[in-house]
Amino acid sequence: MSACSEREILEKLREGDLGAFRQIYDKYHKKIYGYCYKLCGDRQASEELTEDVFVRLWEKREVLDVCRDPGPLLFKITRDFAWSFLKQRSRRKVIQENARSLRAHERSPKVESDLTLSDYISIAEGAIRQLPPRRRKVFVLHYRDGLDNKSIAEALNISESTVRVQLLKSVRYLRDFMRAHPEMPFSLLLFVC
């Protein structure tokens, strides 16, 4: 694609031309997939993330700068999506490991606490239920679903600063709750939400 024709394609893409979108897709798809795979090391996730990158391009087509090569933008979107995916996967692993540890601890004959895992879970669920509904939703989307502040803001149609404030208030409340229950691991709160 020459610089002139690429600019024309981007202008058409901004106007919603599917043929122009297809040309950009065909030009960058393999590169974006390769970059995703390099970052994630997971074929299925890389395929899904690559598709998400192009969906985002389509959604944001009206604000594209037609004077710039779309490659750097696509790679930035890819990096951001891959980073979110890796953070979410990492959180899930930690939560699953903590849950396994708690279950093993409950089955252990050396349990010194009178509380069982189900008691802990009940207490943690109660703490999370005490949060106001919107704050609870923000907390769950962030810690259970692994969404970043921007994604939560878009999903709930609120500002990112509101998301930050709600998370901060949630964590403060739950930190105070944990001080009242020092025998309970904080990660259990994340497991039950």
Cα separation, 79 vs 108, whole angstroms: 43
Cα separation, 157 vs 154, whole angstroms: 5
Rounded to 10 degrees, what is the CA torsion of 5, 11, 13, 14?
170
Tokens of 95: 């939560």
Pair (75, 128) in one structural domain: no
Q: CATH code at 171?
A: 1.10.10.10
**Phi/psi zone of residue 147: left (φ > 0), alpha (ψ -120 to 50 degrees), beta?**
beta
Domain assignment present for 108: no
Contact assessment for residue 54 and residue 25, using Cβ atoms and an 8 Å cutoff: yes
Domain assignment present for 133: yes
Pair (80, 123) in one structural domain: no
The residue out of 34, 67, 85 marking a domain boundary is 85
Q: Coil, strand, or helix at residue 175?
A: helix
Pair (13, 71) in one structural domain: yes
Q: CATH code at 33?
A: 1.10.1740.10
Contact assessment for residue 28 and residue 70, using Cβ atoms and an 8 Å cutoff: yes
How many domains is the chain partitioned into structurally? 2
Q: Name the amino acid, one letter, at 63.
A: V
What is the predicted pLDDT for the residue at 189? Answer: 52
pTM reported for the whole predicted model:
0.49
Pair (70, 130) in one structural domain: no
Domain assignment present for 132: yes
Domain assignment present for 182: yes
User: Where in the sequence is the domain holding 128, given as residue range(s)?
Assistant: 113-192
Pair (71, 126) in one structural domain: no
Domain assignment present for 100: no
Q: Please list, residue by residue across 143-164, b when 16 or more beta carbons sit within 10 angstroms of its beta carbon and e when fewer do.
A: bbebbbbebbbeebeeeeeebe
Long-range contacts of 68-77 (CB under 8 A, 24+ apart): 69/6, 70/10, 70/24, 70/28, 71/28, 71/31, 74/28, 74/32, 75/32, 75/35, 77/53
**Helix-helix angle 133-143:160-180, to 10 degrees:** 90
Q: Which residues are CB-contacts of 60 (< 8 A; sequence separation ≥ 6)?
A: none
Domain assignment present for 99: no
Q: Coil, strand, or helix at residue 167?
A: helix
Reading the chain (193 residues) residue by residue, the pLDDT tens digits are 544 488 899 999 989 899 999 999 999 999 999 999 998 888 998 999 999 999 999 998 888 888 888 989 899 999 988 888 888 877 777 776 766 666 665 555 544 455 566 666 677 777 788 888 898 898 888 877 788 889 999 989 999 999 999 988 888 887 777 777 666 555 555 544 4
Domain assignment present for 101: no
Cα separation, 172 vs 1, whole angstroms: 54
